[in-house]
Structure 1
Amino acid sequence: MIDKEGYRENVGIVICNDQRKVLWARRTGEEAWQFPQGGINNGESAEEAMYRELKEEVGLDPHNVEILARTKGWLKYDVPKSWIRRDCRDRYRGQKQIWFLLRFTGKDSDVFLKNTEKPEFDDWKWAGFWAPIDQIIDFKKAVYEQALKELFEYLPSA
């Protein structure tokens, strides 16, 4: 769903383990790494979208995680115009996201990246909590930083 300002509603998912590391996933066929994320469908709550994306992108079920926190409001980023299809440029600007912090309660072997015909990711790893800020593509950097700063206070002790 795209709002009147041109932002698509989306969820971002930060999954942390007991060592305070976060699940970091590589986009299929690229050297680009990011957190799982995805759009919110019509009639779907942010939490429902988060669980759907969690299953689609990294194969985790609700019993594999515990919700620790979510951002208080929408965090927005603009997508560079050169990345937007020409037929969408007049109505699409970027994403507005609700971010969730989840505690991983499963085993590493529970992570499964091939749940759809076109998997979003082809590899994953555990990374330091703040490492994604230095590694994410520039136009998402401010949102990642804002989300991690807001969620940090809910990160469990190691």
Structure 2
Amino acid sequence: MRKMARHKDVSPEHLPYRRCVGVVLLNAENLVFVGSRTEGPEHTDSARPWQMPQGGIDDGEEPYPAALRELYEETNVRSVELLAEARDWFTYDLPPELVGHAWKGKYRGQTQKWFALRFTGTDSEIDIHHPAGGAHPPEFKAWRWERLERLPELIVPFKRAVYHRVVQEFAHLVG
């Protein structure tokens, strides 16, 4: 992992969590969309670059519309149906070396509301290279369909506990 300079001396316990959403996008075979991250401050483990679509909630935005927006901005996907919403918010802390660097040093980690969505389109709708019709820069360099239970082993270690909770929360949808 490369060394990163902090924007400022930041004590994590004095920073808030960034409010975010995450999407478990299930296809007709109950496999989950995962994307391989492009570079960024959270990309700390080249052996585990895979994650589900997720991102910040804008000011004044509700979680479910934010999840739909983030999914579109990262994958170009709009053909979905809501299956379930996680009962709780799931939280993770950034590793110490990322605090003060990731997200302009404003947050200690994320608190996320997760949604499970059924993908009702075809794979040709997925466009990670020109997401949102090209209006957003790509966040993924590759994608694939994966089994839900495998997701925690594919994610960077500091997000793994959240992915275990996501798997537990939505396991009934793929059983």
Give the equivalent residue in structure 2 for 1:41: 58
Q: Does 1:100 align with 2:115?
A: yes
Query: Are 1:53 and 2:63 matched, yes or no?
Result: no
Contact 2:71–2:77 (8 Å) recurs in 1: yes
TM-score by length of 2: 0.79
Secondary structure at the counterpart of residue 81 of structure 1:
coil
Report the Cα offset of residue 148 of structure 1: 1.4
- Cα displacement string for residues 110-152 of structure 1 (whole angstroms, at most 9, x for unaligned residues): 0011224421112110011111111111110000010110112
Which residue matches 1:81? 96
The 1-side partners of 2:15 and 2:28 are apart by 39
Q: Quote the RMSD (CA, aligned, Å).
A: 2.0
Distance 1:156 1:130 in 2: 10
TM-score, normalised to structure 1's length?
0.87
Partner SS state of residue 83, structure 1 = coil
Quote the sequence identity (%): 39
State whether structure 2 residue 153 is matched by structure 1 residue 151.
no
Tell me which residue corresponds to 1:23. 33
- Count of aligned pairs: 150
Comparing 138-147 and 23-32, the one that deviates more = 23-32
Per the alignment, residue 71 of structure 1 pairs with 86
2:153 is aligned to: 134
Structure 1 residues 1-52: Cα deviation after superposition (integer angstroms, max 9, x where no partner): xxx8610000011101121110010112574110000000010000110111
State which of 10, 17, 20 in structure 2 corresponds to 1:10: 20
CA change 1:83–1:133 in 2 (3 A) is same
Gapped regions of structure 1 (runs ≥ 5): none
Contact 1:11–1:99 under 8 Å retained in 2: yes
One-letter identity of the residue aligned with 1:126: W
Given that 2:73 and 2:136 are in contact with CA atoms closer than 8 Å, whether structure 1 keeps it comes out as: no
Q: Give the structure with the higher percent strand.
A: 1
Name structure 2 gaps, 5 residues minimum.
1-13
- The CA distance in 1 between the partners of 2:15 and 2:23, in whole Å, is 23
- In the alignment, the residues of structure 1 paired with residue 88 and residue 148 of structure 2 have an alpha-carbon distance, to the nearest angstrom, of 21
